[in-house]
Amino acid sequence: MQVLKGREVTLIPDLGATEQWKEKSALLSGICKRVVVSNVLECTSDEEQRSQGLDIADFFLYSPSKRQILHQMIQRNPALQLLIDELDLELIE
């Protein structure tokens, strides 16, 4: 643990384990300068990924299809679907 002494540490927990890691991060707070538990995976994952409990390595290895990327974009901004429909756009694979 000495290697972490005085350092700023960011923890990226597996999906579904964020609360557990937040509790465990207290163990590092006395050693590290700062400890952050990231929720980036929770914010960017879908229900299927959450049910699988994926971790950061899974996301580095994962290469989404164009259709999956478009679906994620529409979820974040539903107006995109209206634009696609109005302009009769098609996804090219």
Alpha-carbon distance of 40 to 14, in angstroms, equals 10
| pLDDT of 89 | 95
pLDDT over 90 at 93, yes or no: no
Q: What is the per-residue pLDDT across 18-67, written as a single tens digit (0 to 9) for each?
A: 999 999 999 998 899 999 999 999 998 989 999 999 999 998 898 888 99
Q: Note the pTM of the prediction, 2 decimals.
A: 0.64
> Residue 41 contacts by C-beta under 8 Å, 6 or more apart in sequence?
12, 13, 14, 15, 54, 55, 56, 59
| pLDDT of 38 | 96
Q: Domain residue spans in the chain?
A: 2-62
> Residue 59 contacts by C-beta under 8 Å, 6 or more apart in sequence?
41, 44
Closest to 75 in 3D by CA, of 51, 47, 50: 47
| pLDDT of 73 | 94
Phi and psi at 87, nearest 5°, equal -95, 0
